[in-house]
Structure 1
Amino acid sequence: MRLRDVRDLIIDTFSWANYRQDMADPRRPGGMLSQTVPTWVPDGDLRRLAAYKIAGAYDHNQAGQLHAVTRGDESALDRRELGDAAKLIDTALGYLLGDGQTITVPGAERVDAPAVDDSEPPWEVKTAARLQEDLRAWAEKELLPMRMQQAERVAVRGGDTVYTLAWDPARARPRLSVYDPGFYFPDFDDDADQADYPDRVHFAWQIPADPNRGTEERVRRITYELGPIGAHTRTAADGGRREPVVDGNGWALLTPGDAVDSEGRITRRYPWQPDRPSTVTCYLTDAEWRLKDLKGHHTVYNLPTDKATYRQRADGEVLDRLDLMVDYLPVVHVPNTIPDAGEHWGRPVFAGVLQALDELSATDTDSAAASATTGAPVVAVSGARMPVNRNTGQPEPVMLRAGSVVQLADGGSMDVLDTAGQLAELRQRTDHLLDRIAVNSRLTSAGLGTLDPTALPSGYALELALGPLDSLIGEMRLVRDHKYTLLLKFVARLYQAGRVWPSGELPSARLAFGPLTPTDQAAVLDLVVKAYEAGVISLETAVRMLMDGGFPIDSAATEIDLIQARDFDAAARLADATGDSTAVREYLGLPEADPDTGPAPLIPTPALPEPARENPDDTEEDR
């Protein structure tokens, strides 16, 4: 793209792809999106969709094909792509997710802590423990780790991913879905800050025609929208729309449980805030439009309602502004990186090294050509009689094979074109580009596995080498910390809305990612044992360090109880120091002694006869 004016220079979240001509005008004839993006997609979203397509092409080793299609360069089809972009994505994804994810609720670990008296744990502790157990059970049923792998790979590759939640009455639990960000269209007002989440979002895609079923090309759009609570509605008799429920006098009825405040607004008390009435609810609309009914001015944000065909839920409810009975959008958008100020979108992990990947691909292509002439060199022969084709009269090419003999005349010669030196230079350039990509992507050579382990003098040197990777993953996890806390909060509230969990405000749950790098468990164990025996750390801290080191400990409190129940040496020292048997029994986890039980009876020892005393007057024989 040739810039004629500084106003043609676009600097935004997707500027990492500006060097490609595909980003200049994606809808131009022959452009990248000229055939794949229809007119109902707004112009403001074209750069984002083009960036997703470019990222996907690099991930699937199709950047050369994309270049050939958009620029008409057939030579790009011979471009060598050896999976370097996919390796960056998969490596970053592995470090991001760690060796596992754990749902934790603060305070849940204290439910098994020993109490001073026989009192039960506080209500807050029992609630946190129950919430943690229920959320973990939900995550197992909904295959949360697999869904996260699916969603997070899209985020690492393209910069964004989207989760949605919906209550399933048949299964009596929230269902988790993952959407491609190319289907996601947040509806921001003109003066809204895109750093804030909008009150309306759309998911839209095009459905191709199916001649076998007799269906035409259609556009499907799913909309979640926050709005004032309205009257109770039901599916109309014709099944096409929803209509208000009215009484015998024609007055609209309210949804059971709703009320009207002094200002005439309809209010509702949600289970998670029973003491605070709300005037807001979320409406769901799922409709389709025939593509031929959409005009040039129609976009995903203003599709004509009079041309819509509304879909029905499994229970027969028409999805035409269906009241979901929640006061939030059950949608969670997860950017891969921390968005810039006022922005909504993230960036892929290889955004800064995309041109380096092009350079690497070009070098691999040149290396393949050079290796061909090195393995089968070009030979020039002079002074030799070459065979002649009898039909054309032209010399025929001679193929040299192992054992071939070429007869040369006096003064004849044979020369071989040696390209081994050029091939070696190309290989060195490949290594240079790989190091440059590792440094600029912050995945590091150590993180990508290309660093020779013997080149590191110590474990501390390895930690320094992984420093940029720690920083990168720290930023990626920081932006996700709030998102997954929000996702788990939505799950809990949907359970409450479904009347499965009790009402009341619930504590916040967090999703903890596993360790970034493998842990030397032997070194951790040695450090913990020495520190605990030296008395510089407590048993609680020692167990927590073992848990962080990857040891299979589910509950720190339970593990401490098991350790103390078998630590008779420490119990003996406690008895010697305090003389309090009650404290010793509590330490060992034994019940209190029954005060009515007397001491154990002792068998009396029989008296032994006294030995005969010696008489000083006895002789030796008498003795």
Structure 2
Amino acid sequence: MGLISGARRLLRIDAWSYLNYKPVYAGDATGMPNRRVFPEAHHTWVPPEDERRLAAYKLLTAYDQNQAAELAEVGGDVHARDRREFGDASMLIDTVMAHVLGREQTITVPGAEHEGDDNADAEAAMAARVQELLRDWSEAEQLPMRLQQAERKAVALGDGVYRLAWDPGKNRPTLRVHDPGFYFPVIGEDADGGDYPTRVHFAWELPEDPKRGLKARIRRITYELDWIRPATGSGVDQAGRAVRAPLPGVLPDGAVEGEEPPPPLTRGDFLNPDNGAIARQYAWNDGPAYVTCYLTDATWNIGDLKGQVDVDSLPLSAATFATRGDGEVLDHLDLLLDFIPVVHLPNTVPPAEEHWGQSSLAKVLQVLDELASSDTDSCRASATTGSPMIGLWGKAATGSGQYEAGPGTVLTLGEGGGMIAVDTSKNLAELRAHVHDLHDRTANVARIPAVALGTMDPSKVPSGYALQLSLGPLDALVSSMRLARDHKYALLLKFVQRLFLAGQHPDWAGVQPQPAKLTFGAYTPTDKQAVLEQVTTGVDKVFSRETAIRMLQDAGFPIEDAAQEIERIESRQFEAAKALADATGSTQAVGDFLGIKNLEPDPTPPPVVLPATPADQAAADAQAAADGTAPDAVTSGNDQQGQNRGNAR
């Protein structure tokens, strides 16, 4: 039995196997979490395959909140309360999250940067419009704050969850972040864990409230993709519960008596005569679709549940359905969407055929435990160093044997007496050195170098090249984590566009959805002065101004729009404009370079006639005399000679 039990524990390898070394997590032969420590994971409605996941979330949260020792004490470790936890796990989580998100997050739509160019087309204008609308939505919905909330969950627990919904009051899609412990996707045995689930539950228990007369309950919100059904309306059943029921069909004009009425259709739906299915044309699809998303918000009294049921098989006959503010009962309410507005955010790229990510603490938990133990030992050693143990002998030592020593204390020792103090400072120095080693081990395993943690003295960095080499593991870590997020955020922005179209927002009239993405900013420390010198030296020589602006943005300079920044720079390049004018002689080219529109061209100057020199005049007169084409000049000369003779007389 011991061999069998050991084999069963050994075979418990899954996404949370890195916690198997902790007795509080997998203490029994089956490797299941301790029921006393993790009662939430063992609720009757929690599927068995989710028990270890929920327990892992609670344990990781305890590390984040410096409460891992408290959980160990509940699990039976009587000395766990003495452990010291100084926030190393929380610091690691915050550091990883900051590097993954970067200094800023920007919504970009490919092609929007060409809007305003001379050869820009309608696609560039549409991309720029969608980009502006999405950025306005992100500001109104406080997207950076939502990102912080979800990313911290993802980095600490391994998973984060976004949920979108159209809010008629705000007239925009709202974005909410949920704890992954409430998230229960239904993934079939034959389905790939990387595929998008067709049914998603959000479920949690509501405690008993004696003051309000409420029993312990389970609330479950379900999104499900299914075939489009006939239209339904809000009503009540025989028990007085609010439910949805099919609307009565209406016979068309000219129908034969006794003919079955067609099924009632939601506005915009149509019945396909070929297959009898109900189809719907969504604003973002080229062709009709046959599926829609249904929303159900139900609550059960735990005492009313009988038999073996889990979150996916709770009986709807015993449920109480919620009612929306506009009176619609949330019992398979048609959301008029062909997608589930939920985005699961894994912290890492999931393994093949898996759905869940892995916490950034997974690989360093044992090092964190060793670090907490060393910190505890250091605290004890520092106590004996600050208040050393003293040994006395002689007549003064006879008596109770206990003395209190403090500043100004005088001990009178008898003949032959003496004292000695036990020096533990060397032990404290060794423990502190061991703590530093553990910090380095944590940084190496987590792939976060000391320079990224801010614990390295900048004066000790030999060169910028050495700094870049030290950041190599961090670059690989961030690249992998951003890869796991790129598609998820692109999917979220696609859902936002579709919800705006479904809500018929006036600003989105005529808009075609575009492939938008969320771009994360730089995260590595940079030498701004060095980057500025590179840009000043190399711009327009070895790289373009667009590349130079991108380098400045990555270095952290406050440049919001690269195209506008280039226009501002060029509008002040007067020396370059003068050189352009001398080279081309075109006023229009200079105006285009400086961004001056409708510049009047210079008038055509008259030709310049220089006065002739005496030598040139004599040569011209000689040539004219030889050609016989200057009689006026000869006559004028004779008249001048006659006038001179008259003046002489």
TM-score under structure 2 length normalisation: 0.86
With 509-518 and 32-41 compared, the bigger mean Cα shift is at 32-41
- 2:96 is the alignment partner of 1:102: no
Q: 1:194 to 1:28 in 2, by over 3 A?
A: closer
Offset from partner CA, 1:386-431 (integer Å, 9 cap, x none) = 575xxxxxx2521122233333333322122221121111111111
Determine whether 1:77 maps to 2:97.
no
| Contact kept in structure 2, 1:40 and 1:296, CA below 8 Å | no
Q: In structure 2, what is the equivalent of residue 616 of structure 1?
A: none
The DSSP-based 3-state class of the residue aligned with 1:271 is coil
1:579-618 aligned at under 5 Å gives the runs: 579-592=585-598, 599=603
Could you say which residue in structure 1 is the equivalent of 2:538?
A: 531
Residue 294 in structure 1 maps to residue 293 in structure 2: no
Distance 1:503 1:281, change over 3 A: farther
5+ residue gaps, structure 1, are 389-394, 608-623
Tell me if the contact between 1:164 and 1:330 (Cα under 8 Å) persists in the aligned partners.
yes
Matches within 5 A, 1:388-467: 388=399, 395=400, 397-467=402-472
In 2: Cα distance, 1:201 partner to 1:292 partner: 24
Residue 244 of structure 1 corresponds to 246
- Is it true that 1:508 corresponds to 2:515 in the alignment? yes
- Confirm or deny that 1:271 pairs with 2:276: no
Matches within 5 A, 1:305-344: 305-344=316-355
Equivalent position SS for 1:317: coil
CA contact (8 A) 2:381 2:428 kept: yes
Aligned-residue offset at 1:136:
0.7
CA contact (8 A) 1:272 1:504 kept: no
CA-CA distance at 1:472 after TM superposition: 0.8
Measure how far apart 1:485 and its partner are: 0.6
Task: Report the equivalent of 2:224.
Answer: 225
Q: Letter of the 1:430 partner, please give it.
A: V
User: In structure 2, do the counterparts of structure 1 residues 540 and 444 end up closer, same or farther at CA, with 3 Å as the change threshold?
Assistant: closer
Contact 2:223 2:340 in 1 (8 A): yes
> Superposed, which structure 2 residues align to 1:56-205 within 5 Å?
56-70=61-75, 72-113=76-117, 115=118, 121-205=120-204
CA contact (8 A) 1:272 1:503 kept: no
> Cα distance 1:404–1:593, how it changes in 2: closer, same or farther (>3 A)?
closer
Could you list the per-position Cα deviations for residues 54-90 of structure 1 after superposition, in whole angstroms to 9, with x for gaps in the alignment?
A: 10011111111100001x2221111111111111011
2: CA distance, partners of 1:594 / 1:367: 81
Cα deviation per residue 1:573-602 (whole Å; 9 max; x = unaligned)? 22333333333332232334568xx93899
CA distances 1:199-230 after superposition (whole Å, capped 9, x unpaired) = 00100000011122111111000011001111
- Is this contact kept in 2: 1:283–1:321, CA < 8 A? yes
CA contact (8 A) 1:132 1:509 kept: yes
Q: Which amino acid aligns with 1:559?
A: E
Distance 2:439 2:571 in 1: 55
Partner of 2:9: 8
**Unmatched tracts of structure 2, length 5 or more:** 252-260, 612-649
**8 Å CA contact retained: 1:22, 1:50:** no
Q: How many residues align?
A: 589
Distance 1:311 1:35, change over 3 A: closer
Instruction: Give, in whole Å, the separation in 2 of the partners of 1:385 and 1:21.
Output: 50
Give the conservation status (yes or no) of the 8 Å contact 2:396–2:417.
Answer: no
Q: How far 1:28 moved relative to its partner?
A: 6.8
Partner of 1:614: none
The letter of the residue matching 1:584 is V
Residue 40 (structure 1) aligns with: 45
Partner-residue secondary structure (3-state), 1:236: strand
Matched-pair contact (CA < 8 Å) for 1:64–1:79: yes
Mean alpha-carbon deviation: is it higher for 32-41 or for 143-152? 32-41
Larger radius of gyration: 2
Residues 384, 407 of structure 1: 8 Å contact kept: no
- Distance in 2 of aligned mates of 1:73 and 1:15: 21
* 8 Å CA contact 1:271, 1:503 repeated in 2: no
- Kindly report the root-mean-square deviation, in angstroms, between the aligned alpha carbons of the 2 structures: 2.3
Q: Which residue of 2 aligns with 1:619?
A: none
Letter in 2 for 1:561: E
Deviation at 1:470, TM superposition (A): 1.3
Greater per-residue helix proportion: 2
2:405 maps to a residue whose letter is: L
Distance 1:284 1:269 in 2: 20
Taking a change above 3 Å as real, the CA distance of residues 216 and 27 of structure 1, as seen in their structure-2 partners, is farther
Greater shift after overlay, 244-253 or 461-470? Answer: 244-253
| Residues in 2 aligned to 1:422 and 1:287: alpha-carbon distance in whole angstroms | 61
Preserved CA contact (<8 Å) 2:40 2:54: no
The TM-score, its normalising length taken from structure 1, stands at 0.90
Aligned partners of 1:281 and 1:328 also within 8 Å? yes
When residues 282 and 30 of structure 1 are mapped into structure 2, their CA distance, relative to the original with a 3 A threshold, is closer
CA change 1:558–1:587 in 2 (3 A) is: same
- 8 A contact 1:384–1:406 mirrored in 2: no
Please, which moves more after superposition, 191-200 or 576-585?
Answer: 576-585
**Paired residues of 1:28 and 1:34 also in contact (CA < 8 A):** no
Tell me the equivalent position of 1:550. 556
Secondary structure at 1:221's aligned position in 2?
Answer: strand
Contact 1:166–1:176, Cα closer than 8 Å, also in 2: yes
Bigger RCO (CA 8 Å, 6+ sep): 1
Residue in 2 that maps onto 1:576? 582
Aligned letter for 1:21?
P
More deviation, 304-313/548-557: 548-557
After TM superposition, the structure 1 stretch with the greater mean CA deviation from structure 2, 233-242 or 44-53, is: 233-242
Evaluate the alpha carbon distance shift between residue 587 and residue 239 of structure 1 in structure 2; reply closer, same or farther with a 3 A threshold.
farther
Q: Which amino acid aligns with 2:532?
A: L
Are 1:58 and 1:85, in contact at CA under 8 Å, matched by a contact in 2? yes
Indicate the percent of aligned positions where both proteins have the same amino acid.
51
Distance across 2 between alignment mates of 1:172 and 1:30:
46
CA shift in 2, pair 1:385/1:570, >3 Å: closer
Q: Which amino acid aligns with 2:436?
A: D
The code of the aligned residue for 1:80 comes to: R
When structure 1 is superposed on structure 2, of 555-564 and 435-444 the one drifting more is 555-564
- Residue 101 of structure 2 aligns with an amino acid whose one-letter code is L
Aligned counterparts of 2:502 and 2:375: Cα–Cα separation in 1: 57
1:326-383 CA-partner distances (Å, limit 9, x unpaired): 1111000000011111111111111101011011111111111111111111111111
The 2-side partners of 1:23 and 1:396 are apart by 46
